[in-house]
Chains A and B, each alone.
Chain A
Amino acid sequence: KAGVTQTPRYLIKTRGQQVTLSCSPISGHRSVSWYQQTPGQGLQFLFEYFSETQRNKGNFPGRFSGRQFSNSRSEMNVSTLELGDSALYLCASSWTSGSGTGELFFGEGSRLTVL
């Protein structure tokens, strides 16, 4: 059974550009969550999608957005990139959402560097 797949694994952008990251969850999983990981802040929750609906959103500016498609694949977009957006972006999937989501499975992450 394939795990969570994230693309691209590495990317370099310059300030002001925008970026789109993709996540394919484990087959059958309908919940996809996104996290930003930096050395200083650790893992911070961005948003969660379940059946194409955003269920939760973290405390990030509106430059960060996401969506989920009918096949449960998800994308996140960051517009007008800033240096502080450099981070490892992790996607996680689970079978369900809310009230004890259960075990969460993570992808390898997308390493974004903003110059």
Chain B
Amino acid sequence: KQEVTQIPAALSVPEGENLVLNCSFTDSAIYNLQWFRQDPGKGLTSLLLIQSSQREQTSGRLNASLDKSSGRSTLYIAASQPGDSATYLCAVESGNTPLVFGKGTRLSVIA
């Protein structure tokens, strides 16, 4: 059974800092891994989707990497801004099962 873990559960950084969010999964036989952002009381916004054959994806200040063999993915946020404050979730699709989500990392960027 696939399990997804995100560490840390919460993170507070000063504006302008570069930061890394971590996601680990137990079953490396995945189709893809997706990073989402969720603002309080809102739905999820898709940030990046990495297919199993890819090593990384980039969108603006965001870069996500995938290492299937070690069961890990990282989301790198460059030059963080207060508007980046949100909960970041990773989710893994594997087998014929639906997405399995981590519990998320709650990020606060302090101005």
Contact = CB atoms under 8 A, between A and B. Distances in A.
Interface of A: 4, 6, 33, 42-43, 45, 48, 56, 58, 88, 90, 92, 98-109, 111
A48 B99 CA distance: 11
A99 to B, nearest CB: 7
Contact of B31 (A42, A56, A100, A108): A100
Contacts of A102: 32, 49
A40 to B, nearest CB: 10
A108 B42 contact: yes
Given A100-B32, A100-B51, A103-B34, A90 B99 contact: no
Contacts of A99: 31, 96
Contacts of B32: 100, 102
A45 B97 CA distance: 10
Contacts of A109: 42-43
A58 B101 contact: no
B45 A45 contact: no
Contact of A56 (B43, B46, B98): B98
Contacts of A56: 96-98
Interface of B: 31-32, 34, 36, 41-46, 49, 51-52, 89, 91, 93, 96-104
B43 A43 contact: no
B96 to A, nearest CB: 6
Contacts of B89: 43
Contacts of B97: 56
20 contacts: A33-B99, A42-B102, A43-B89, A43-B101, A56-B97, A90-B43, A90-B44, A92-B44, A99-B96, A101-B31, A101-B99, A102-B32, A103-B49, A104-B46, A104-B99, A105-B46, A106-B43, A106-B45, A106-B46, A107-B43
